[in-house]
């Protein structure tokens, strides 16, 4: 079984980000980068699939040359080889999906498992768009994944509970937080990852025009929320919800 | 701090990130609880061992993962994101206990203990300091006497031993003859040896989650196999060991400063007084600028010393300089961070409070500030 997974290089979500002076992005001076947290679940699931079914895990990133670090991290976790589609442009989700679609047409994996969204832009679109461009079935927000006989059974987190979906492979599955517990990139794994193959190409090589369809007008910090309050008991809570929040 | 980070290799960055992720997921959520409890769970050693974190700096053939001084710094930088020096030094006590075993130990002994310590199944600690001999290491009186069958009988006492309460293996410096420097010899003593007594954890100013013990040796007998190197090689082994110990302490120093700086900066950006954010006060901005400058200088020197060690250069006095500069920086920057936090900085829930207590050991442990200055001034030809 050939499994393809993706990683995005994002700013460290534990650091406080600041919007730059002209509101065109965030301040990147002194910012550290790491693998998108949701992608850790995708990479882990890809490795688990390989462990259970055999085969190969290919990890793909679309981003700057420095994203080789995130690809090597995925290989240190257990992915077999990596592809970097190198670009310094800020791609919108649609461009990312079209780039990935071209890689996938070449690689012909049996399944794509990727993070449901990136923790920097939180757009939650690339997986869905990718499935549409490939004309493949999709199962998003997975908390469980079973593969057998050419079908994937995916437990999904949906509004108000969970649902189960069966999709015929090849398909795109996007990972939610309860799917697994991502392993660490072990130290011996880091040493091995140095010797695993990493191919680099560009969107041009793939024939994809990455000019953005979405124009970002400006970045704004969300309004600050007032501090929460701990109430004495249930009656006090109901009173506050009724009289102050007016939601009851 | 990007001027250093840019020079790191990809593998070094991934190592740092792995350690950081480990610290954020496995240490940080429990750090307050473990600090108050005065210890962290033993399983943490196994968790760290299972991903190879304890094997950094040790050869692969003995169960390590390779890497040198710079890699050790990377693992320290990552682990310190758990915001507790106690856990970091507790997990790292083998980094100072095992090198004499690796370098001078007999093959059967190395095979028996190194691998299981690096896997986190057993804990190793280094025992040098005595109630009557700290900085004056050649003044130790714990004695190992050779017996007719080749085994040794050890008598004496050790104190301030990091991880000593829980250690399975103790790397113990003893005196095997009266020759001041040439009469010192290291032995490994297993915790279940008859005659070994281990105290309750000592109460300390900082490093709370790391256990510290006093040890008593009353006719403790160990086989010849447990001797590290020939008799009289202890001083040499100790000097070699000090190099990495002091480098690691320098690592704790600048990371402690960096954490305090980060927290103080957030505080200054968020907190308001007299109707404006604290960063609106030039005196505080300049204080932060000084803190950032000192912290970077401390890190840069430590990195350069680590690179020199990895090139195989002897840099005993530069390590001493790095140790002193980082320790002074940690003490000064954590002091400033507490000052910026004000009353909150004096409360036990506040991380800068913990950092300021943890920092205080740095000019004392692993060779005091004064001993470091002796080393440096001797190298300058002043003694």
In chain A, how many H helices and how many E strands?
Answer: 6, 11
Q: Which two tokens stand for residue B325?
A: 């500069």
Closest Cα in chain B, distance from residue A188 (Å): 6
The predicted model gives A206-228 an average pLDDT of 89
B101 is a domain residue:
no
Which of A195, A201, A43, A41 shows the shortest CA–CA distance to A107?
Answer: A201
Would you state the pLDDT for residue B2? 62
Q: Which residue range(s) make up the domain with A221?
A: 2-243
Mutate to test the interface with A, among B3, B18, B265 (most CBs of A within 10 A): B18
**Among the residues of chain A, which ranges form H helices?**
37-53, 68-77, 93-107, 126-134, 187-193, 234-243
> Per mean pLDDT, which of A19-28, A47-56, A233-242 is the most reliable?
A47-56
- Residues of chain A contacting B15 with CB distance shorter than 8 Å: 187, 190
Verify that B58 and B156 share a domain, yes or no.
no
Dihedral sign computed on CA atoms, order A43, A46, A52, A53: negative
Single residue among B197, B232, B267 that ends a domain in this structure: B232
Closest Cα in chain A, distance from residue B351 (Å): 16
Strands A161-168 and B124-127, by their bridges, are unpaired
- Can you give the CATH number for the domain in which B223 is found? 2.40.110.10
Verify that B322 and B304 share a domain, yes or no.
yes
B3 to chain A: nearest residue by CA? Answer: A30
B335 is a domain residue:
yes
Question: What distance in Å separates the CA atoms of residue A182 and residue B9, rounded to the nearest whole number?
Answer: 24
- Residues of chain B contacting A32 with CB distance shorter than 8 Å: 5
Would you state the pLDDT for residue A17? 82
Give the Cα-Cα-Cα angle B273, B278, A33 (nearest 5 degrees). Answer: 140
Would you state the pLDDT for residue B323? 98
**If you search the block for the tokens 């059974």, which residue do you land on?**
A153
A65 to chain B: nearest residue by CA? Answer: B10
CB-based contacts of A42, cutoff 8 Å, min separation 6: A5, A6, A7, A113, A114, A115, A174, A175
Question: What distance in Å separates the CA atoms of residue B147 and residue B144, rounded to the nearest whole number?
Answer: 9
Verify that B259 and B165 share a domain, yes or no.
no
Question: What distance in Å separates the CA atoms of residue B207 and residue B228, rounded to the nearest whole number?
Answer: 29
Would you state the pLDDT for residue A25? 86
**If you search the block for the tokens 């290919």, which residue do you land on?**
A58
The predicted model gives A159-175 an average pLDDT of 96
Q: Is B11 in contact with A193 (Cβ distance < 8 A)?
A: yes
Q: Is B14 in contact with A30 (Cβ distance < 8 A)?
A: no
Question: What is the H or E stretch that residue B127 is in?
Answer: strand B124-127
pLDDT, tens digit, 9 for 90 and up, residues A180-196: 999 999 888 998 999 99
List active site positions of B. Answer: 245
CB-based burial label for B237 (10 Å; 0-12, 13-18, 19+):
buried
Q: Is A43 on the interface with B (CB under 8 A)?
A: no
Would you state the pLDDT for residue B353? 98
Verify that B253 and B195 share a domain, yes or no.
no
Give the three-state DSSP class for A40: helix
Q: Which two tokens stand for residue A92?
A: 């919108």
Strands (E), A97-201: 111-115, 138-148, 151-158, 161-168, 171-175, 198-201
Full-model pTM: 0.89
CB-based burial label for B259 (10 Å; 0-12, 13-18, 19+):
buried
B33 is a domain residue:
yes
B292 is a domain residue:
yes
Q: Which residue range(s) make up the domain with B145?
A: 124-232
Is there a contact between B211 and B160 (Cβ–Cβ < 8 Å)? Answer: no
Would you state the pLDDT for residue B157? 97
Q: How confident is the model at residue A228 (pLDDT cuts 50, 70, 90)?
A: confident
Single residue among B199, B232, B265 that ends a domain in this structure: B232
B181 is a domain residue:
yes
Verify that B374 and B256 share a domain, yes or no.
yes
Nearest by CB: A190 against B5, B15, B21: B15
Verify that B253 and B371 share a domain, yes or no.
yes
Question: What distance in Å separates the CA atoms of residue B237 and residue B231, rounded to the nearest whole number?
Answer: 11
Q: Is A16 on the interface with B (CB under 8 A)?
A: yes
Interface size between A and B, measured as CB pairs under 8 A: 56
Strands B227-228 and B184-190, by their bridges, are antiparallel
Verify that B241 and B225 share a domain, yes or no.
no
Single residue among B181, B201, B232 that ends a domain in this structure: B232
- Can you give the CATH number for the domain in which B283 is found? 1.20.140.10
Mutate to test the interface with A, among B19, B21, B62, B74 (most CBs of A within 10 A): B21
Partners of A174 in the β-ladder:
A114
Verify that B260 and B367 share a domain, yes or no.
yes
Which of A34, A96, A38, A46 shows the shortest CA–CA distance to A70?
Answer: A34
Domain count, chain B: 3
Question: What distance in Å separates the CA atoms of residue B260 and residue A69, rounded to the nearest whole number?
Answer: 28
Would you state the pLDDT for residue A32? 86
Q: B44: how many CB neighbours lie within 10 A of its CB?
A: 20
**If you search the block for the tokens 């600041």, which residue do you land on?**
A18
Nearest by CB: B15 against A16, A32, A187: A187
Would you state the pLDDT for residue B235? 94
Question: What distance in Å separates the CA atoms of residue A213 and residue A79, rounded to the nearest whole number?
Answer: 32
Verify that B248 and B367 share a domain, yes or no.
yes
- Can you give the CATH number for the domain in which A56 is found? 3.40.50.620
Domain count, chain A: 1
Cis? peptide before B322, omega within 30° of 0: no
Would you state the pLDDT for residue B295? 97
> What crossing angle do the helices spanning B69-79 and B234-270 adopt, rounded to 10°?
40
Q: Is the ipTM of this complex over 0.85?
A: no
**If you search the block for the tokens 């690691």, which residue do you land on?**
B248
CB-based contacts of B318, cutoff 8 Å, min separation 6: B301, B304, B305, B308
**If you search the block for the tokens 């065109």, which residue do you land on?**
A24
A248 is a domain residue:
no
Would you state the pLDDT for residue B283? 95
Nearest by CB: A191 against B1, B53, B65: B65
The whole-number mean pLDDT for each consecutive block of 10 residues of chain B, a chain of 383 residues, reads: 79 94 96 96 96 93 92 96 97 96 94 95 97 89 96 97 96 96 96 96 96 97 96 94 95 98 94 92 96 97 96 93 98 98 94 98 96 95 88
B102 is a domain residue:
no
Verify that B300 and B364 share a domain, yes or no.
yes
- Residues of chain A contacting B266 with CB distance shorter than 8 Å: 16
Q: A54: how many CB neighbours lie within 10 A of its CB?
A: 8
Verify that B193 and B247 share a domain, yes or no.
no
A192 is a domain residue:
yes
Verify that B172 and B46 share a domain, yes or no.
no
**If you search the block for the tokens 């995916």, which residue do you land on?**
A154
Q: What is the b/e burial string over B145-176, where b = at least 16 CB atoms within 10 angstroms of the residue's CB?
A: eeeeeebbbbbbbbbbbbbbbbbbbbbbbbbb
Closest Cα in chain B, distance from residue A245 (Å): 27
pLDDT, tens digit, 9 for 90 and up, residues A116-154: 999 998 999 999 999 999 999 999 999 999 999 999 999
């Amino acid at each position: 079984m050939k499994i393809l997974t993706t990683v995005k290089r994002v700013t460290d979500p534990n650091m406080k980000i600041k919007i730059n002076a002209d509101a065109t992005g965030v301040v990147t001076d002194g910012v550290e980068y790491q693998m998108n947290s949701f992608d850790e679940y995708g990479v882990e699931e890809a490795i688990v699939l390989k462990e259970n079914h055999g085969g190969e895990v290919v990890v793909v990133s679309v981003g700057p040359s420095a994203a080789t670090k995130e690809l090597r991290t995925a290989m240190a976790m257990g992915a077999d080889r990596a592809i970097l589609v190198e670009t310094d442009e800020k791609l919108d989700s649609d461009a990312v999906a079209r780039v990935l679609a071209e890689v996938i047409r070449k690689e012909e994996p049996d399944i794509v498992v990727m993070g449901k969204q990136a923790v920097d832009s939180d757009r939650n679109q690339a997986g869905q768009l990718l499935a549409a461009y490939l004309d493949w079935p999709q199962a998003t927000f997975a908390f469980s994944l079973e593969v057998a006989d050419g079908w994937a059974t995916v437990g999904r987190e949906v509004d108000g509970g969970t649902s189960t979906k069966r999709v015929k492979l090849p398909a795109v599955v996007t990972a939610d937080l309860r799917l697994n517990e991502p392993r660490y990139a072990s130290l011996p794994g880091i040493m091995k990852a140095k010797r695993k193959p990493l191919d680099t190409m560009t969107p041009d090589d793939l024939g994809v025009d990455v000019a953005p369809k979405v124009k970002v007008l400006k970045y704004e910090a969300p309004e600050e929320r007032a501090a929460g309050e701990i109430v004495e008991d249930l009656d006090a809570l109901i009173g506050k919800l009724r009289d102050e929040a007016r939601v009851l | 701090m990007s001027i250093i980070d840019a020079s790191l290799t990809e593998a070094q960055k991934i190592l740092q990130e792995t350690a950081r992720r480990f610290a954020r997921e496995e240490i940080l959520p429990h750090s307050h609880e473990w600090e108050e409890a005065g210890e962290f769970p033993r399983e943490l050693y196994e968790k760290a061992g299972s991903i190879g974190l304890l094997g950094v700096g040790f050869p692969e053939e003995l169960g390590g993962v390779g890497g040198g001084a710079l890699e050790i710094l990377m693992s320290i930088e990552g682990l310190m994101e758990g915001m507790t020096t106690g856990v970091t030094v507790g997990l790292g006590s083998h980094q100072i206990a095992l090198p004499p075993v690796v370098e001078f130990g007999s093959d059967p002994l190395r095979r028996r203990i190194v691998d299981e310590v690096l896997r986190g199944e057993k804990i190793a600690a280094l025992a040098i300091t005595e109630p009557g001999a700290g900085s004056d290491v050649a003044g130790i009186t714990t004695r190992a006497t050779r017996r007719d069958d080749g085994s040794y009988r050890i008598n004496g006492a050790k104190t301030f031993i990091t991880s000593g309460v829980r250690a399975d293996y103790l790397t113990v410096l003893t005196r095997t003859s009266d020759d001041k420097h040439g009469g010192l010899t290291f032995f490994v003593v297993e915790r279940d040896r008859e005659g070994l007594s281990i105290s309750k954890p000592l109460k300390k100013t900082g490093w709370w989650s790391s256990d510290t013990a006093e040890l008593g040796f009353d006719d403790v007998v160990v086989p010849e196999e447990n001797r590290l190197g020939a008799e009289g090689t202890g001083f040499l082994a100790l000097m070699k060991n000090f190099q990495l110990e002091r480098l690691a302490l320098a690592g704790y120093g600048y990371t402690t400063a960096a954490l305090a700086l980060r927290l103080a900066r957030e505080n200054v950006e968020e907190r308001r007084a007299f109707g404006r954010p604290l960063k609106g006060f030039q005196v505080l901005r300049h204080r932060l600028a000084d803190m950032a400058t000192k912290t970077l200088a401390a890190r840069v020197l430590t990195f350069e010393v680590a690179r020199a060690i990895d090139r195989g250069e002897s840099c005993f006095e530069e390590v001493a300089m790095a140790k002193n500069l980082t320790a002074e920086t940690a003490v000064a920057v954590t002091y400033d961070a507490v000052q910026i936090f004000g009353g909150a900085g004096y409360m036990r829930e506040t991380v800068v409070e913990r950092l300021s207590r943890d920092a205080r050991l740095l000019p004392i442990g692993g060779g005091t500030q004064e001993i470091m200055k002796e080393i440096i001034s001797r190298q300058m030809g002043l003694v």
